[in-house]
Each structure stands twice: as C-alpha cells, then as structure tokens.
Structure 1
Amino acid sequence: MNKADLSDAFAQQLLPKPPSKLGVAVSGGGDSVALLSLAAIFAEEHGIELHVISIDHGLRADAYQELKLVTQMCADIGCQHHLEYWSGWDGGGNLQDRARVARYELMGDWAAGNGISVVLLGHTANDQAETLMMRLARGAGVDGLSAMSARRMQNGVTWVRPLLGITRRDLRSYLQSEGLVWAEDPSNEDRDYERIRMRDALRILEPLGFSTENLTAVADQMSQARAALNWQTFLAAREVVEVSHGAVCFNMKVYRTLPVEISRRLLVHALGWLSNAEYPPRRNAVEVARHSIRDGVGHTLHGCQIQREGNTLWIYREFNAIKDLTSDIGDAWDDRWYVEGEEEDPVYRVRALGADGLAKTKDWRELGVPRAALMVTPGVFLNGELIAAPAVEDTDEWSVELEGGADGFFGALLSH
C-alpha cells in the first residue's frame, strides 16, 4: 500500500464525522509511530486538534529514551505529548494483562480530563492474526475467534483501531519512505511471551496458507457469525427472559427447547449482565452450571446464584459477592443500582438488604421472588439500621432504579 492508500484506509475509520479533538496512543514502536504520522496528516486536513499520550510502565530502562522520540515527533508535528507512568505491578499475576488494564485506565482518565472523546490505537492486521491463533490454541469458540472491533466505546471514550486492515509490513515500508524513526521494543524478541512465540510460529506457517490476510479473513467471518448468534439470542431472550427486582428469570419450558449454543449464550449473558464482570466465565464452568440447571440443582457462578423453582430459573447476585459493597445515595451500588431520596445526607449508606434487612420488610413473600434474590437488592441504612428497601417496598421518600432497566438486558445482547 502506498501513502495515499494508507491515508484513505485510515480516514475511513473516522469519516464522515471526525471529532474536533483526537487522542493518539503512541509507544514509540513502528506501528504507533505510523499511526501518529497518519493521524497528523488527517488532523491537518480536517482541522482537528491532536493530542498524544504515552504510557511508561517502568519495566524497561530504555523506555524513557524511546518515548523521547515520541516527544520530538510531537514537537515537529506541533501537537501536545502527555506522558503517564504506571508503577502498579507487584510482581504477581499476568504482567501483560495487568499492564493492558492499567494502560486503558490511564488513557481513559487522560481523555476524559482533556475532553477527548476518541482515542486511536495502533493494532494492526498482524495483531489480529496473532490474537486469533493464540485463542485458537486455547480452544476458543466463535466469540474468541472473532475479530477485534475497529471501534468500541468504553467509559465514555470511543477507541478506534484504524490500522486493523493494514499489515505491519506495509507500515514499515511507509515509515521508511517517510524517513521516520521508530524504536524496536526488545520484548518483541522475548519468547517468554506467548504472542512472540505465536509470531514466530506464523512465519513458519505462512507458506502453508496461514497468512495474515487469510487469518484476518477468518476473524472477520467469525465476527459475522457472532453477530448472527447474538441476534438469535436476542430473539430467544424476548421469548424466555423477564427481569424482576434486579434478577433474571428464564421460562424453563421455552429455555430447554433452545439450541445448545443459544441457551449457553443466554446464560452467559445473564451472568455477565448481573455481575458486570469484564470477562465471561470459562466455558467449562458454564457447562457445569448447565448440567446443574438440567438436574434442578442450585449453582453459584461468576458472582451469581442460579436457582430453579418450578418452571422458572432465577439468576441473581450471590450475597457473598456483594455483602461488603457500600455506596453513597445517588451513586451506583454494585455498578447497577441507583437509589435516590429526599435526604442525601452522607450518613445514609446503600448496601445489600441481607437477611436481617429483608426480615424488617412487610409482605415480601407476596412478590413471588426468591428470598435470596431480594436479599441482594439495595437497602438504605442509617447507623446500621434499615431505613428503606425501595426495591422491595414502595416508598414516597426513596426510589430505586436499575441501570438501563429491563431493556438494558436485551439491548446489551446486540451491543457486543
């Protein structure tokens, strides 16, 4: 691809309504330097204010010198360069995962603080191919093998990957033709990392047809299959699901007739919607839960309780997962409930109703909702004493709202 082709491919991800401010995440590596160069061209053509952010993870002494290249490039372009530092790794867990999460948090906070609604990321077609192969090696299904999204919104920021259809080889050719300097991260040669091992393997497999182009085509096809499955799951949910007092109810007469994959997706979606977890439960764990449902046995998974009563399957938050969560009035409790009242004195606290709180309410049995499901609804407390249980009892002084309401459950099926 020549410069004009690259610029056109880049622009397609931001037109026809480009933002007035544009953030760019730049590490100093070849992919991100090419991203910044193309973003600068686009910004100049469309009168956009360009902002650049880099994250120093504090893991390599050379990183500072590499980021100085970015600072110089930004000065040459005439845009602001912001540098953030991360020092949150304690030596435990998966370093790359921890660094990725921290990176998005830091970039998201920076974008919000500077009124930037769109941030560009430098993932390429090669990243897409490597990710697919890594997930294939773990036995991933349709969702895991689906392509990375070129555009997604999270925490008020739209993250755009305008280079997903462009290979690393084309970007290196562009950098060389433009005389641009970039840094080579030595970790790109470190075979301790799974991605590097897969990158090396793909060099061997490419002559057998495992090319970047073919693998990204597979990922795109998997994305289309995922969208079709999500649509069918949405249609099934309309027939099967009811949201009641924050819990999800399945009509078992209909649920048990669904195709296996649709019923599995519906269960996974319910668990994710209730727990608000970043990742879904592992497939093996879901299969164990499905067997428990079939046998009519209660089960706990993903911070949720699964309980069958007659022809209704109830799924709701597990009490132990939220018993210590508290919030102020008006703030999100358990990331999903909002309690409002005439009194917003900070001494009022929202926490799980619990067994003691539920015992102080009247006629809760008439609601037809399992006791354990009501125990995990929000209660308003003052000095440890229950003031209101707005999800269980109507009151003029206090109101409660579930974020997105029941429609949020169904809509989320189509927003993945």
Structure 2
Amino acid sequence: MSLNTGSALNTGLPQRFADRMGQLLGPDFPQRLCLAVSGGGDSMAMLHLAAGWARVYGITLQVATVDHGLREASAAEAVMVAAEAQGLGLPHETLRWQGWDSRGNLQNEARQARRALLRQAAGGAPVLMAHTQNDQAETVLMRLARGSGVDGLAGMSDDATAGGMRILRPLLTETRAALRHYVTTLKIPFVDDLSNEDTEYARVRMRALIGTEGLDTATLAATATHMARARDVLQALARNAARDLSRPDATAPGAVVWDRDGFAALGAETQSRLAAAAVMAVTAATYRPRLEPLLEAVNRAMSGGAAVLAGAIIVPRRGRLFIAREPMAVGNAVDVAGPACLWDTGWRLEGHDINGLTVRALGEAGLGLIPDKPQPRAPRHILASLPAVWDGATLVAFAPLGFGAPHSIIPPGSGEELTLARLAH
C-alpha cells in the first residue's frame, strides 16, 4: 500500500480495520469489546480505529492498560492512555500487576499475568490486541530458531482463545510503519518503550535481524499463514482419528481411552497431536507438553510400559491406551460440606451420604480396600487417580467400581470431548 499521502492512508486503514472486524466477528457482533492498550503506537492506533468503528455499529468498548510496575514510566503511560480514552468517551481501567517475585522467566510471568488481568477485566468480552505483521514475522523467526514445528511456525492467530479469553488481533496484516504513520498524521499521542531496544530480549534481536538482513515481514507473515493452514488440516485429521479410536471405559470416567492398534497405525505427527491433546485434556493444562518427553512417553506406552508425563499417566492394557491424571499429581483432599463438592481439575462429587466426609484420590492403598473388583476394569494406575470418599483412613465409597455409599462423580467432561476441544484450537 502506498504511503504517499496521509489522507489516503487514513481513509484506507479505518476501512480495512472495519472489514477485518467484520470477518473476525461475523454477522452477530458482540455488544461489548475490551481493548488492551499499552500506550505504544500500535495499540494507540487500534484505540482510535476501534472507537470510530464501534460508533458506527453501536458497540460498547472498554479500555484496559496493564501496568506491570517494572518501569518508572509505566504509570504515566497508563495515565496517558486513560486521558486519550476519556477524550473518545470510553471507560478506562489500569490493571496493576504486583506478583513479580524476581524469580522465573520475567517475560513469561508478565505475559501470564497480563492475560489473567485482562481476562478478569473483560468479564467474558472478547479482547482486542494490537499485534502487527511485524510482530508476526518476529514470532516466526523466534520459533524457527527454537526448532518449532508446524504449529509454532503458524505464529499468532487473529482469532484465538486462551484460558477462556477470546483474543482478536485485527491488525495482524498491518505493518508497524503504517500504524505509526497513522498516529503521527492524526497527532495521536503514543510512547516508545525503551525496552523494545534492549537486545537482551529475543524479540528485539529478531527485529534487528529483519532490519539488517532486509527480510520481508510480509513474506515471513505469509509463511505463518501457510503453516496455519497446514496445522488446521493436521488438526482435522487428528480429530477424526480421536473419534475413530475412542473406546470409553465406565470404570475410568474422565480418562481418554483409545484402541491401541489403531493408534499404532497412525503417523507419528497424528500420534503426537493426539497424545498432547489428551494429556492437556486430563490435566487441564494450558500448554502442550514438550515434544521430546511426549514422544518418549508415547514410545514407552506403546512398548507395554506405563509412562508419566506432565501430570498425566499413559497406561496400555488389553489392547487399549488409557490416559488419565497421574496419581501423584492429583489435587489435595477436600472436606465435604453439603451434598456436593469440587475436586482437582473440576471433578464434581454429589450424594447426600458424603456430607461431612473427605474426598481424595483412591490411591493404591484405597484400591486394596475394595474386596470385589469387577472385571474387566481400568488399570490400577488409572483407578488410583480417581476421586474416592473417605472417613479418615476408612474408604467409604468409590463410584467407578460401585463400592460403598451411593454417590456420583462427574468429571470435567468425557475424555473424548475434552481431547476434541483441545484439537479444535
């Protein structure tokens, strides 16, 4: 696109923004959106573009700025955003992070905190973020340097869900230069974060590499688009395989159970996708397990042994593969006050006879207390991870094997449903 005149740019960019929002949201626009605005040029451009677009369509906007408290200027930047939002007639909230304890990966901790704060502030509304084509190109290079596969090289999605929060990136096809031209032409205030020049950060180094080597951000971003299409095809194949292989077991509620021979016949890529999705499903994890430990666990299970991975356990038994919570990783005991309680990753136990008792994993010891175990049944490692009702050291009830006082245990979802949900993203 030509940048010869400000007027041509400022006419075209709002229209492209409106078109992109229409593509992302479809015909049924939400009543409310949350804008994540840091005060940088990209997000300030998004603030004004979204404000103009929302006025046309009658959509309520709220503006949120996350102040990580890591730079002296961050508080003043949040004040600047608040003033600009007020001038546009939009409510603004500064979200302050106070959880940094100087341990761990700062960038990762800050990102997780930012997501959590925005999710809470948005209250279920989609959140707009101002990532650009340049950000996408940098992401592709960073992940290429780490040896990422198809999913990693697909980069950022313009419509994603993370931790229950829908994230929209309507500027992902726009260049940083175009947005900077937009804000300077319209005299929109913005700030330059000096940390964007700190070569300690991988993204800054990749940004410099793009500049010094003359790499084309559009081409790198196009690579992400191609990889995203390939990922979608691979995910569809994995979803079909998950449905075909599913062999639910009534004695292993919440577990993923597959036909072993059918799994063995799959290609390595589909196997790893299925296994990763299943592990994430039963552990409620946000991120995929690392590839090498994942492949090692799959190979061990396919060789006949139980394998532990990222809070999950994979157990082969009678021509099937069981994937469930690892017994040592399940939640702590919960004292029941009333006819129901929640446990671990969202299990719900119900029954009038459990009031005043305790819910904790059955464990190996509990399994030994059940005299008449039905056959066939799930492997002992799987049963040991499931919730049981206890009165001190006395096992009162264990629903999967029909033992003791009548009650019901309701997992967060069926193993198949939860796995398919993971493969949908």
Alignment-derived partner of residue 27 in structure 1: 38
Secondary structure of the residue aligned to 2:173 is coil
Structure 1 residue 325 displacement after superposition: 5.5
Q: Do the aligned residues in 2 keep the contact of 1:23 with 1:51 (CA within 8 Å)?
A: yes
Superposition RMSD on alpha carbons, in Å? 2.2
Alignment-derived partner of residue 92 in structure 1: 103
Alignment-derived partner of residue 245 in structure 2: 240
Alignment-derived partner of residue 53 in structure 1: 64
C-alpha separation in 1, matches of 2:335 and 2:345? 10
2:12 matches 1:5: yes
Alignment-derived partner of residue 386 in structure 1: 395
- Residues 156 and 229 of structure 1, relative CA distance in 2, 3 Å threshold: closer
Alignment-derived partner of residue 6 in structure 2: none
C-alpha separation in 1, matches of 2:69 and 2:397? 48
What whole-Å deviation, never above 9, does each CA across 1:331-358 have from its counterpart, x for those lacking one?
542224222223685x444321222333
Q: Do the aligned residues in 2 keep the contact of 1:230 with 1:413 (CA within 8 Å)?
A: no
Alignment-derived partner of residue 322 in structure 1: 330
What whole-Å deviation, never above 9, does each CA across 1:172-216 have from its counterpart, x for those lacking one?
01111111010000100001111101111111233xxx3111111
2:412 matches 1:403: yes
Structure 1 residue 247 displacement after superposition: 2.3
Alignment-derived partner of residue 74 in structure 1: 85
2:54 matches 1:43: yes
Alignment-derived partner of residue 133 in structure 1: 141
Secondary structure of the residue aligned to 1:50 is strand
C-alpha separation in 1, matches of 2:407 and 2:279? 28
C-alpha separation in 1, matches of 2:26 and 2:245? 40
Structure 1 residue 73 displacement after superposition: 0.1
C-alpha separation in 1, matches of 2:269 and 2:26? 37
Paired letter, 2:171: L
C-alpha separation in 2, matches of 1:406 and 1:20? 34
Q: Do the aligned residues in 2 keep the contact of 1:205 with 1:211 (CA within 8 Å)?
A: no
C-alpha separation in 2, matches of 1:260 and 1:47? 49
2:238 matches 1:229: no
Aligned residues: 409
| Runs of 5+ consecutive residues of structure 1 not aligned to the other structure | none
C-alpha separation in 2, matches of 1:77 and 1:386? 63
What whole-Å deviation, never above 9, does each CA across 1:70-95 have from its counterpart, x for those lacking one?
01101211111111111111111110
Residue range with higher mean Cα deviation, 13-22 or 81-90: 13-22
C-alpha separation in 1, matches of 2:38 and 2:325? 40
- Residues 323 and 405 of structure 1, relative CA distance in 2, 3 Å threshold: closer
Structure 1 residue 255 displacement after superposition: 1.7
TM-score (structure 1 length as normaliser): 0.91
Paired letter, 1:181: P
- Residues 124 and 395 of structure 1, relative CA distance in 2, 3 Å threshold: farther
Identity %: 37
Alignment-derived partner of residue 225 in structure 2: 220
Secondary structure of the residue aligned to 1:59 is coil
Structure 1 residue 15 displacement after superposition: 4.5
